[in-house]
A and B are shown apart, each in its own frame.
Chain A
Amino acid sequence: MTAPVLADTLGPRARRRVLLASLATGAVLLVALVLAVRKLDANGQLDSAKWRPLTQWSVLKFFLGGLGNTIRAAGTAMVFAVTIAAVLALARLARTRALRWPATLYVEFFRGLPLYILILFSWLGLPILGLKWETFWYLVLGLTVYNSAVLAEIFRAGILSLDKGQSEAAYAVGLGYWQAMATVIVPQAVRRMVPAIVSQLVTLLKDTSLGVVIFYEELLRRARISAEFFQNPVHSVLLVALIYIAVNATLSQVATRLEARQRRRYGAAPIAVAGVEDLAVTSAKAGATGAA
């Protein structure tokens, strides 16, 4: 995918032009880099006093603890969200209206709201309404409510993506609705959903940084504490950004690889859900390779 799509083998003249363009853009990028470094230097951002604290083990331990808190919140929310989403997806597909409607309402309502609002309400609102918990649980509640709605859509799309012949065959051999679901449909659908679920996990991990607004000590909050203490906001927050990039790039790789494997094995298109940015990209990408 890294190969240029629009330029195949170049002739001598085009090669010369590309070389010139490479030198020119290389020079521009270099100048931009030098200017950025000089700007940082002029404002004293390259002083060793700014970054030295971040090399001390005690400070690093503080950040790693933040990473631990981030993963704890994200992991807990993921477990709850997957469970609730599975129930919601089945309810939305059920034949009984009494099951379908509440589930649809829940999904459409919480999917259309910003996660920020949900976390904020859970933290500011619930204590006033008489629910007093640790901060951790307010964050987990917000993340769970939002992600269960999003995941429910993914699950539903996964189940609907199966060929109709599967359920018809299941009914033909005498299975009932729920039996067919449990033994034929869901096991196949789950395999298709794995890449989309991993993508959503990346999003959830990133979203855990919203814990900063409710003073939960995840990575970003700890970066702000460190920034205040050492007077180095650029360095502290940059460190957190690097940690996130390392973790998420790895997870995204896993999702892409799973998706490629799945296309090879089942020839199945990935699952797309409107309004979910990370999935939007994976699905567009897959559509692309599918057509190529």
Chain B
Amino acid sequence: MDVVLDNLDLFVGGLRTTVSLTLLSYAAAFVIGIVVAAFRVSPVPPLRGAGALFVGTIRNTPLAVLMVLFFFGLPDAGVIYSSFTSAVIVLAAYTGSFIAETVRAGVNTVAVGQGEAARALGLTFPQTLRIVVLPQALRAVVAPLGSLFIALIKNSSLAAIISVPELAGTAEQLISDTAQPLPIFIGVAVAYLVLTLPAGALVNALERRVAIVR
């Protein structure tokens, strides 16, 4: 275990990068998800089409392919970002497409009468969505949204492909440098479990508090 203790600062740095990568991308993914879901249930056909296209393409492309395309491909087309920013953008877009589908499913659980009542009161479509439908929809999908957060913690490891020094990348580097794979594997495994297990518990607690069962 000495290798892990000797390089503890590297591990902590990697852990910190993983956490900030996850939190930033989830925040952005949440916004993307809500907006795209709103597009997909809107009465405006071009918006619906654009939303469906976004979800259909991003969700069916492997995250690794998106990472490589964005970081190694797009600079050729004049789109250049740092590796960390690129990772946040790609993770946010990927997770956002899943959140969009989940939120849309949540919107479908809200009783039709809610939307009808909102319209009867004279609310416009964006108002109906924001004030009446979305708050109820989100509470119905707390558990899957939490699943997506946990999946994002794990998916953030793919940022190592574009050399972001988060946990997985740090482990990769250390294994090559020290040739002591087992202690490093255990160290990085513990680091990930320290993130994913409490996140799971947190999601369960949140669900018990706010979720509504229909």
Contact = CB atoms under 8 A, between A and B. Distances in A.
Interface of A: 1-2, 4-8, 10, 14, 18, 21-22, 25-26, 29, 39-40, 42-43, 45, 109, 112-117, 120-121, 124-126, 128-129, 202, 206-210, 212-213, 220, 223-224, 227, 233-234, 237-238, 240-241, 244-245, 248-249, 252, 272-281, 283-285, 287-289, 291-292
Contact of A207 (B62, B77, B78, B188): B62
A25 B47 contact: yes
Interface residues of B, number: 79
B62 A244 contact: yes
A22 B143 contact: no
B101 A124 contact: no
Interface stretch (B3-11, B81-89, B175-183): B175-183
Give 4 closest A-B pairs by Cβ, nearest first: A125-B181, A288-B108, A7-B43, A114-B157
A39 B63 contact: no
Given A121-B185, A280-B144, A206 B46 contact: no
B102 A280 contact: yes
Given A212-B161, A220-B64, A117 B168 contact: yes
A209 B67 CA distance: 11
A244 B43 contact: no
B43 A287 contact: no
Nearest to B161: A213
The B interface, classified by DSSP as helix, strand, loop or mixed, is helix
Contacts of A274: 143, 146-147, 150, 200, 203
Interface of B: 41-48, 50, 52, 56-57, 60-66, 68-69, 72-74, 76-79, 95, 98, 101-102, 105-109, 115-116, 125, 128-129, 133, 140-141, 143-144, 146-148, 150-151, 153-158, 160-161, 168, 171-172, 175-176, 179-182, 185, 188-189, 192-193, 196-197, 200, 203, 214
Residue in A213, A248, A287 with the greatest tally of chain B CB atoms within 10 Å:
A287
11 contacts: A8-B116, A22-B45, A117-B185, A120-B171, A120-B175, A121-B181, A126-B181, A233-B76, A241-B57, A274-B143, A291-B108
